[in-house]
Amino acid sequence: MLRVRDVMTHSVVTLSPEMSLAEAMGTLSTIGVSGAPVCDAAGQVVGVFSQSDVVKLDGSVPTGARVESLMTAKVLSVGLDEGLEAAIGALAKHGVHRLMVLDAEGGLSGIITPMDVVRAIARGKLVVQEPGGGS
């Protein structure tokens, strides 16, 4: 059985709740992703910030606004050793583009996105079967 740890992105850039929105958007743009986990000073995931959060502002960014004011505080996560099918199901069920991958102590180990799933299929790690088991 393929596990989350087998296909997740291990190297994850995190944002700080205290970052300005401009700095956070610049970081996302520089690394070429649409969102990232937000971690506190202790390294614990406290939220997720994405371009979707900024779109909600409808073009009016408050002066001095910080990531913590817009981030999504509800963090959806999976464990390192959960089955990949469960993670794919969670992505689809919640309609999200990223799940935080946490270790046994609750620390951030990585992130899993639909693109990680696509890469697994392209590399032959994950074989997609027709519904009903046919080919």
Question: What's the pLDDT score for residue 133?
Answer: 59
Question: What's the pLDDT score for residue 22?
Answer: 87
In degrees and rounded to multiples of 5, residue 13 shows phi and psi of -85, 130
Residues of the chain with pLDDT under 50: none
User: Phi/psi class of residue 57: alpha, beta or left (left: φ > 0; alpha: ψ in -120 to 50)?
Assistant: alpha
Question: What's the pLDDT score for residue 51?
Answer: 87
Question: What's the pLDDT score for residue 26?
Answer: 92
Question: What's the pLDDT score for residue 134?
Answer: 54
Using CB atoms within 10 Å of the CB of residue 66, give its burial: 0 to 12 exposed, 13 to 18 middle, 19+ buried. Answer: middle
